Every structure is written in structure tokens, then in C-alpha cells.
Structure 1
Amino acid sequence: MLFFGMEGVFSALPLQALLRAGVTVCALVVPASWRQGPADQPKGQRPPPLRPLLAPTSRHGARPLLPVLNRALAVSPVALALQAGLPVWEVSRLQAEEAIATLAAYQPDVLCVACFPYRLPVPLLTLPRLGAINLHPSLLPALRGPEPLFWVFREGLSETGVTVHLLEERLDAGPIIDQERIGVPDGITYAELERRCALCGARLLVRAVQALAAGTARSYPQDEQRSSYRPAPSPADLLVPASDWPARRVYNFIRGVASWAGPLPVTSQQEMLFASDALAWWDPSAGRPLTSLPGALPATERLLPCGSGLVHLRLASGEAAHAVPASPEQS
């Protein structure tokens, strides 16, 4: 097997499960451009399409511009692979003949993808004898795209899931081999939901690989009538329109996403706040009345009126002294 992934639990835990199950992994492939910046290359020199990685590396002190690039680095698939004695390849151009030839030399039976940011070219998709499979953190065909867990929080969903499917040229659209639902309880953080999806997905992935090897795998096509695609979140997608949302949705979005993306802009009435966390919510229309007001709040906290109900916020550093007037478009 060739395993394609990147730093974070959604690649690391499935790779760890495959290794523990005794699956023979030939090599790990990771995206070079997500580990290197322009400053890492000599001026005017194009990086090679792929290069071997000899030791785990990370760029310290660099914060991604968009939260879509954030990944928990506590569990590293690169460290797991190197510890197991596996080759690790950083790739920048998968379509290059050199990259395809290098990976084809492993003659893999299966290609496995778990949180890899590049589409695999057709010569790689058709390379493995048993097929190429992808682990996706949603109940496909819903929420195709690069960051489905963000949209679970954004759309206020109470359920998501994990899908193992066959890869094809269309993104996240191949036939489904296995799938499992996962609940999204109130107050869960992005990191915890990602961890639960990774643990569930790891188990499904091992089962799928074993079924492919045994010739017992079954798949069924995705229902295109039920399909949806969501892009990578933009800064505008991080805005919380508290006056338009019920308290429960505001609470769950801030609670889930702020620890992943950083303080979130919140518009309410005629001001904008930046929230670093949500601590509690009340909404009589949802059967959760506020029976008594909390005592005096510290300057770093605020009761936020929502479309219905209230949310108890923790403000970002400095927000206690500054409430920014909302623009006409935001209010």
C-alpha cells in the first residue's frame, strides 16, 4: 500500500491503525508545499517534484493565513512512518513523470488517501491492482470538499460521519465501500470531533483494505441527487451573525471553531466582538430557559443576545476594552 496524508490526526490515526493491523505500507506520501514556504527555496529555483524526507521537520513560528491549513501536530504520520522504517516522500508535483515513476516502482496493491490536499492524477489512480480509496470525514455524498467538519459546525448539524470510497477523477464522488454515522453533541470542539472521526475512520479503513485484499469488498454508487459540495472556508465564513442565529447554534459554532481558527468575529445589534470561546447558552424556545442571571461577569466575558436566547461568551484578549461598531452590511 501507498499511503497519502499530511500532518494531523486524520492521517496519523488511520496510518497507525493500518500498521498495527499488519497491513504492509510501502511508503508515506505527504505534500511538500504544506511543509515548506517560498523562503525555504533558493530564489528562482523550482523545487523537485518529490524528494525523500529523512526526519520529521516543521516550521516553527509560522501561522497559516487560513484556518483550513491548521492541523494538530501532536500526532504525526511522518514520525509514525519513520519510526516504522518506511520511506517518506514529499511531493510538490504529482503529475510529473519523475513522481509517478518513483511511486509506481513500489507496485502497490492499494492506494490509500486520508486528508491529502492534492488530487491524484489518473496514472496514479489506475496504478494499484486492487484500487485507490479515500477516507472522507462526512456522510457522502453530503459535504464533499476539503473541510467538511467546518461546515458541520457552520450549518449547525447534529450528525456527521466518515466514508471510505473508491477514488475517481471527480472529487469525493467515487462508489462507497463503507460508512458510519457520528453524533455531534453540544459543545464539542473541532479537535475532538476530528479525533472521533479519525478513530472511526481508522477502523473503517482497516476493514476496507482487508476486504479488498480478500476480494470481498462491495461498493455502491453515490446518490448525486443528495450530493453537496462545500469549499474551503473563507474569512467571511467565520463571521457569526448572532442576531440571525438561535443561541444553541451560536454556542456550538463558537465552541467548535474558535479553538481551531482563532477568535471569531461576532455581530450582534450594533457592535462586533471577537469571541475566543462560548461557555453556556440559554433559549426558552429550545426548552432551556435562563432561570436566573449569572453574577457579575469579569471584563473578559459577555452575555450575547442572539436571534433567540443568550450565549455566555469569553472574549478575545483586549476585547473587554473595545467593542467595534458593526458596519451597515454586518448589522
Structure 2
Amino acid sequence: MVAKRPSASSAHPAADVLIVGSLNMDLVIRTPRLPRPGQTVAAPALETIPGGKGANQAVATARLGARVAMLGCVGDDAYGTALRDGLRREGVDTSMVSVHAGAATGIACVTVANSGQNTIVIVAGANELLTPAMIEAQQAAFERARVIVCQLESPPDAVECALKLGQRLGKKVILNPAPAIGPLPTPWIAACDYLIPNETEAALLTARPVDSPEAALDAAADLHAQGARHVIVTLGARGVAYVDAQSRLLMPAPIAHAIDTTAAGDTFVGALAVALAEGVSPDTAIEFGQAAAAVSVTRLGAQPSIPFRSELGAPAAPATH
């Protein structure tokens, strides 16, 4: 497979936030309820919606007010073209999205119940082709960004390279460890300024049950002890558990009538990245992320559900400490 690789020069503009991660086309089925194993459930229609955790977070970051660039891979196919065109329309710099001939763009099969809960199965496709060399070739973009955001839908060696490069350059490094399959290497955690798992992911990362907000705080404290400066365990409608060197907090979520939770976590991460790039305090950044996520769950779809800055206003004034 031959990739059309972006230039490593400074041809692309500076971005406040650099997203390193996945681009998928979501194939979305809506059903009255999620099927049990072995059960067949009828659905009225299939929708094709741009997604991928990295791309979702890039759209959230752009809509909420930051200059954002995306670094990732797509196939030389219709889905890849649609994903890049969609990001450009949102104002995302796609000059670091590589197009790979002979590879299929990643897809996600998403089933959404009327309750808002979902199941997701991912076929990584071209996302698996992101390499450390491609990360290192874009060091100039890392140097210009204020915040670096990664997830786990890219190859582990590429994720590790991005985390460590961001750390070495003194950037705010965010890791959304999704999908998690077990504990992370300690150097990865130590590279994170912000580690943001949900409760299921926190349980996998710590090998401990996370079945209550108090248990989420304990898991966050575990991950903080492993080196992450700030740990935020997202708990859906129950808010977040937050631990740093001075704080151990349960922060309630805004009340929202959820009809689709797809991309709520990505919206939270993108909003948090925007607020941190603007220099606000961590708790204010978390509140901004919660407000954005609360809007997203009231709408259908991944990227279509993400709100704009005009719907939320601005985070509080920048921190003075």
C-alpha cells in the first residue's frame, strides 16, 4: 500500500489543539432495544455518519472554538474522501491526514437503543497504518500546538510516540484510553497531564471494580499514583470523578434527557481540550466539558450531535495560578 504522505514542513497553520487518532465512518442502526446474544431485532434504517474517536474530538474542538489539526490515516476510498471533506468543512486542518492506496477507511458499526445506550464494533482499516515515523515527521506541528490529544484506536507504538513527544515538548497531553483492554504501560500514564477513562475503562486500567462514584474516585487515585497529573473518570449522568495532587472530587453532571450517548465522551474530551488551551483551571475546564456533553446526548448521531460554542458560551476567565 502506498500512502500519500503530508509534508513535514510548516505548510499547515499552527493549531491550538493537535488530535492524533482515528477516523471512521459510522454505520448506525437505531433499534427499540439493544439485542441480547443470539437475538434478532428489527431496525427501521441504516445511517452513514462521520465518526472515529479522533475525528469526533477534532470536530468538537473546532466547533467549540479552538484551531485544531488532525493527524491520522484514511483509505483512498469514498469514505476517506467524505471524512476529510467533512473535517475541512468544520474548519479542521487535515493536511496531516495520510491517504493510503489499497487500504479501506475504518468503519464502526453502531447500534443505538431508544434508551440512548449503544454498542459499537470497530474495523480499524487504515487507522492501523499510523506509525511512529509519521508522528515524528510532524514534530513541528507538535511544537506549535498547546494541547495534544490521543486515544487508543491507533496502533500502540504510534500512540506511545505521540504521548512521549508531547511530554518531551512540554505540551498539555490528554489521553482518552478508549477502547481500553487492560492496564496501560506506566510510562504512558506518566506522560499524561490528563487521563480520561470512563468507568468501564477505569476498571480495566486498574483491574479493580468501578461500580460506584466512590469506586471511581479510588480508581482515579490509583491512576494518579501511577503518574498521571490529572485523572478524570467520566460517569455519564452521574458526572465525573476527578483526582489531582490537591483534589479528590465528585463533580455532578448537568441534567439532560439523553436520547443517544454516542460521542458524548468525545465531546467532553474536545471541550476540555479547548478550555485547557485557553488557560482556564482544571475544574472550570471539566465543567465546560460536562456542559458540552450534556447537549450532545440530547441529539442523534456522533458528529451531528456535537454543539457549537455559541450554544454554550465561554469557560470562565483564565486561571491566574
TM-score norm. by structure 1 comes to: 0.31
Larger relative contact order, structure 1 or 2 (CA cutoff 8 Å, min sep 6): 2
